[in-house]
Amino acid sequence: MNTFTPVIIIGCGPAGAGASLFLSRAGIPHIILEKDAFPRDKVCGDGCSGKTAFVLRKADPALLDEIFSDESRFLPSFGVTFAAPNGKSIDVPFSAKHKQDRPPGFTSRRLDFDHFLFSKIQGPHARIIQNATVTGLSRTEQGYAVSYRNGATEEVLHCSLLIGADGDKGISRRQLLDGNAPSKTSSVGLRAYYEGVTGMHPQHFIELHFLNGILPGYFWIFPLPGGAANVGIGMDTALVRKKKINLREVMLEAISSNPNIRDRFTHARLSDKIYGWGLPMGVEPTKVSGDHFMITGDAASLIDPFTGEGIGNALYSGMLAAEAAEKALQAQRFDEGFLREQYGDVLFRRIGDELKLSYTMQKLVRYPWLFNLVVNKAHKSPALRNTLSSMFADLDVRALLRQPSFYWKVLTNK
């Protein structure tokens, strides 16, 4: 077997699949090494935002046609419900500012969504090897030698360019980013699948419940196809440790006793075990590339620190890494400077402000009184509800949150 390929991708979650879709479009041969076999599960809230739809549309509009014509796997979603610590909630439709003929987002079990992506990346330029756990990365004159275990055998492949897309606990984050991978901003989340939760929004809004005691984390209920629900809780890992919080107990307590939540679970049934996983949050630009490599998705800590969304940024960073790979192969430049310019700089120019603003929002959510105030006022003020709605799509509107005058207006708004 020829053991050289221009590009190797480690991991076939949204980041790896995103990179593969765009490499194939550019006609670049590549190999994807994935430790599991599809269909496989991934602990997640299963909520896909407009950014996910944007990247998929860019890769191939037919992908979205398929998604929005199959409600047995993909449930369209039109907004988000925020419940403040005092229990009051507001419905915020995803902004209709950018006119489109499609719902802005959808939910899909990762078992289905990732399998869908996997089924779309096979083609003449992409070769995927499943059950292939990457165990070692070593620099060669040409680029990288990638060792992996495939069943009982150990194999080695060579490439000019490596794309790390192996998530929070993968090898590329550990080995290639070395001490540069930020961890102090990480959160931890639990996911449970339920059947029979009642009181869902008719337009399948996802729900974020900001509960006292876990701020700036939240409890969520996301409607899923087939009447099921993804229910979970997420919180800053350092706070969990510091306050010695048992997240599982807090989640089950909210379900059984919180006056705004418990009635909806009266006839609900847990349909799977409760699983936990880390959320490496993106806060500021960090190192995401080096000689002969680029890191994407969770491996590069790109999760939105306010909403906990990482699928969109994983796909987006995969797309940018593929575009940078095309330029690197054309120029035959794989050095750190070139890849930083073509990938890391572009990535943080596009999503850096968004991450920073989300971090600001995350910090504000630590103050329950402020949150209660904004939600109370938004209840009475359509204008404020509109502003909040626009914040999802419009960074200029989101930037208002940094200005004290925004809160003054909220306070004085009757």
Ligand X SMILES: Cc1cc2nc3c(=O)[nH]c(=O)nc-3n(C[C@H](O)[C@H](O)[C@H](O)COP(=O)(O)OP(=O)(O)OC[C@H]3O[C@@H](n4cnc5c(N)ncnc54)[C@H](O)[C@@H]3O)c2cc1C
Collapsed DSSP state (helix, strand, coil) of residue 60: coil
From CA 401, how far away is CA 170, in angstroms rounded?
35
Residues between 111 and 140 that touch ligand X (CB under 6 A)? 133-134
Residues with Cβ within 8 Å of residue 243, at least 6 apart in sequence: none
Q: The tokens of 308 are what?
A: 């906990």
Decide if residue 13 touches ligand X (CB under 6 A). yes
Structure tokens that stand for 322 in this block: 């593929």
CB contact at 8 A, 248 and 234: no
The Cβ of residue 289 has, within 10 Å, a number of other Cβ atoms equal to 29
**Of residues 107 and 387, the one with the C-beta less far from ligand X:** 107
State which of residues 8, 20, 35, 355 lies at the interface with ligand X (CB under 6 A).
Answer: 35
> Total residues at the site for ligand X (CB under 6 A)?
40
The span from the CA of 322 to the CA of 22, in Å, is: 6
310 binds ligand X (CB under 6 A): yes
**Smallest distance, ligand X to C-beta of residue 28, A:** 19
- Angle between helix axes 50-59 and 311-331 (nearest 10 degrees) is 40
Interface residue with ligand X among 15, 28, 247, 322 (CB under 6 A) is 15
Q: Does 297 bind ligand X (CB under 6 A)?
A: yes
Binding span for ligand X by CB under 6 A among 86-94, 244-252, 308-316, 404-412: 308-316
281 belongs to the binding site for ligand X (CB under 6 A): no
- Which residue's Cβ has the minimum distance to ligand X? 310
Q: How far is the CB of 43 from ligand X (least distance, A)?
A: 5
Count CA atoms within 13 Å of residue 144 on its CB side.
27
Query: Could you say whether residue 80 binds ligand X (CB under 6 A)?
Result: no
* Beta carbons within 8 Å of 388's beta carbon, 6+ residues apart: 82, 90, 92, 374, 378
Min dist. Cβ of residue 384 to ligand X (A): 26
Residue with smaller CB distance to ligand X, 45 or 143 = 45
Secondary structure class of 4 (helix, strand, coil)? strand
DSSP letter, residue 396: H
From candidates 14, 104, 164, 217, binder to ligand X by CB under 6 A? 14
**In the structure encoding, which two tokens stand for residue 77, read together?**
């979603």
The nearest distance, CB 222 to ligand X, in angstroms, is 6
Q: Given candidates 53, 163, 255, 303, which one binds ligand X under the rule CB under 6 A?
A: 303
- Contact positions toward ligand X, by CB under 6 A? 10-16, 33-36, 42-47, 133-134, 165-167, 170-171, 189, 191, 232, 234, 277, 279, 297-299, 303, 308-312, 314
